[in-house]
Structure 1
Amino acid sequence: MRKYKDLLKPYLRNILNILRYENSMTQKEMAHFFYISTRSYCDLEGGKYSLSAVSLIILLAYLPNDVMVQVVREFFNLILDEQDKEDD
């Protein structure tokens, strides 16, 4: 399961960056959105940490349904690709 967590961190970091820039939000505003400190949010974007389960649910609930499904499916496809690499 750890290897998938290592895939999730950069994947979600990219999603956060896209979301922030598309909505013209500062890191401070994003931190407020996730109910975390600005420093914690900066660490998320910097790849030091990954989203907590609660923050992930907040993110997914914010996204339009079609985008939410796309985000989840794209990550699942990353997992499948990783499994295919292991099988080869």
Structure 2
Amino acid sequence: MKPVSPTASAANEEVAAPDFYEIGHTYVSASDVTDWRFRVDMVTTHPLDGERTALGWRHFRGEWEPYAYGEDDWGVLLVSQIADATAPGTSPLAEDGGPR
């Protein structure tokens, strides 16, 4: 099933897949092998070449740490089966107030 925009028409207008991390979204590993997560707080660009970098919090091996992923990481992580765990209309924070 393909994602549909909240304002999609009866013709089921499709939403284009993102080409980079999205602010306010939390990405998770789609496998049970790792507890990897990445919550995106902002995206910035290099002042000379415009390459994007996502800044946020990575959860790995039971620990949260500030982290940055670049455009090259996006492609590598997609191959390793990541999923966007942010449901529409939800906060990127966990119920306890901490990062997801």
**Structure 1 or 2: more helix by fraction:** 1
The structure that has the greater radius of gyration is: 2
Pick 1 or 2: higher relative contact order, CA cutoff 8 A, min separation 6. Answer: 1
> Do they superpose with TM above 0.5?
no
